[in-house]
Chains A and B, each alone.
Chain A
Amino acid sequence: MINMKINGLPVSVEEGTTLLEAAKFLGFPIPTLCFMEGLLPYGACRLCVVEIGDGPKAKLVSSCTYLAEQGLNVRTASSRVVKARKMIIELLLATCPQSKVIQDLASAQGVHQQRFRQEHDDCILCGLCVRMCEQQMMAKAIGFQGRGEKRSLGTPFNIKSEVCRLCGGCIYVCPACQLRCTYNQVENAVCNGCANLTPPCLEKEKFDDMMCYMEPCVACEIKNDKK
């Protein structure tokens, strides 16, 4: 057992517990985005930062990936942590303002505005979909490609993957809430299901013979009405 303190409260946890789990056990809320139970922690969003160490040695670490250590003194809501967290949310908002998940996080943290150049990306590179595909669906159909600014997400060669079973798991976990399939071309589709408000099958007949994991959805009803 490892004894440590979270926000001054002593707690003893088993070896291999992450700081996030320990804080959760005590009931201290830590906002997370790229963490999901059932998937290996990845530490991409940094939203779960906490402060450890003392004095000049204090530093911010991501609690979802940091393992508990003997005698650690963790602060989950120090002013430094709150400031960093807000900044991260602002940056997330600057990338993906349309995401419901990010908007919710922002309002929970009291961020109502961001001061960076507004972009409208459809991915925050949190890696949830990649891990979902690999660790839960055992498919490894999608993955990261490129590097730096050009890092993006998709299937190899951006064509329909042979190992993809169109399960829709990637869309289900995606916080940016955008379709991972490039849905305007049926041959490029990762998944034909659509959690978006503009189902491709409405305009494109080619989608008729594709498996849809959402059937029946609004689109089906609209189609039926049209008939």
Chain B
Amino acid sequence: MRKTKEPISRKTKKSKSYGGLCLTCRWTATCTFPRDPEKPVLQCEEFEGDDFKPETASKIVEKHIGEQGELISILEEIQAKYGYLPQSALQLVAEKTGRSLVDIYGVATFYSSFSLKPRGRHLCSVCMGTACHVRGAPQVTEEFERQLKINREDTTPDKEFTLTTVNCLGACALGPTVVVDGHYFPNVNTTKVSDIIKKTQDGLDKIELHTDARVFPINVSCPRCNHSMMDATYLIDGYPSIRATMSFENNHGWIRLSSLYGSFKIESEYKIPMGAVVNFFCPHCHAELLGSSNCPECGTKMVPMIVRNGGMMQICSRRGCTGHRLDLNGVNL
């Protein structure tokens, strides 16, 4: 029999790795609260705790009611808020939307992105698709189970890790693949497992989303034709800009946006008056970039773009509005 490894201690690194941010909050790793390592924050204004609050959920429901596909949007937002769908939340949604609980429960259990059980701070998905399976994914899963001391689809008692298995992540050539909080780990074998767990505890996002001011360049492409929208010949903020075609009123011309996440600099052929809503088009396939969601700040339609390494960025189409949403495969910034 194999010697059991020491369980990995999860306590030690914590205070260091979260750079002075609330240790209680599940979004620490991606928090926008100004960081000051000298003065640790205990709770920011956003922090609500993991407890379900009917008022918050009602607000979410009211925001989406009447929309096309309202149910999914509502459930998604509740899931994002609490990390899972609390039973009382589903009951509230049923009441408010006038749908039956059975239907809502059916939808919630159908999609694997919804969870009815609380999830941990880090979501670790091991691919068990065919390609990964034959290359040893089952052993990797077992190793994770052993080291985290939980079964698959379970969460550690300290609410740090949730272990799930998925069927194909579309990265079969890299298999066995493991995704932790949107970060892909290729060619995983049993010896790499402890490494992955450790890296996750040290804060994955710190490594890649490097600066604290949260300004980092992103690389986007058209959601329709997937051609890159980056323009290396035209720099804004010292980085290649995002090129698109825009039109508003009777003007039709190019627009270039800063690719720095956190910078809202734009340059365009025609001057866009503040408050004007601009239509964006892909410079390659000329499809209109029109998202399904509305700006969280002003309610205007958002413009979607695909982020190169997986994920989605949406920006508000109203000039002057800084509403945006960046979703790097589950990490919602």
User: A-side interface residues toward B, CB under 8 Å?
Assistant: 140-147, 155-157, 161, 163
Contacts and interface: CB of A to CB of B under 8 A. Distances in A.
Q: Is the interface of B mostly helix, strand, loop or mixed?
A: helix
A144 B108 CA distance: 11
Contacts of A147: 109-111
Contacts of A155: 102
A140 B109 contact: no
B101 interface: yes
23 contacts: A140-B100, A140-B102, A140-B103, A141-B102, A142-B102, A143-B100, A143-B102, A143-B105, A143-B106, A144-B106, A145-B105, A145-B106, A145-B109, A145-B110, A146-B110, A147-B109, A156-B101, A156-B102, A156-B104, A156-B105, A157-B116, A161-B101, A163-B101
Closest 3 CB pairs of A and B: A143-B102, A156-B105, A140-B100
Q: Is the interface of A mostly helix, strand, loop or mixed?
A: loop
A157 B110 contact: no
Interface of B: 87, 90, 100-106, 109-111, 116
A163 B109 CA distance: 20
A159 to B, nearest CB: 9
Given A145-B109, A147-B109, A147-B110, A157 B103 contact: no
A54 B33 CA distance: 68
Contacts of B102: 140-143, 155-156, 161
A112 B101 CA distance: 42
B166 to A, nearest CB: 13
A226 to B, nearest CB: 39
Name, among B102, B109, B110, B111, the residue most crowded by chain A CB atoms within 10 Å (CB to CB): B102
B100 A157 contact: no
Given A145-B105, A145-B110, A147-B109, 9 more contacts: A140-B100, A141-B102, A143-B100, A143-B103, A143-B105, A143-B106, A146-B109, A156-B105, A161-B102
Contacts of A146: 109-110
A44 B255 CA distance: 52
A169 to B, nearest CB: 15
A145 to B, nearest CB: 4
A155 B103 CA distance: 10
Contacts of A161: 101-102
A156 B109 CA distance: 10
Contacts of A141: 102
A144 B105 CA distance: 9
A7 B33 CA distance: 74
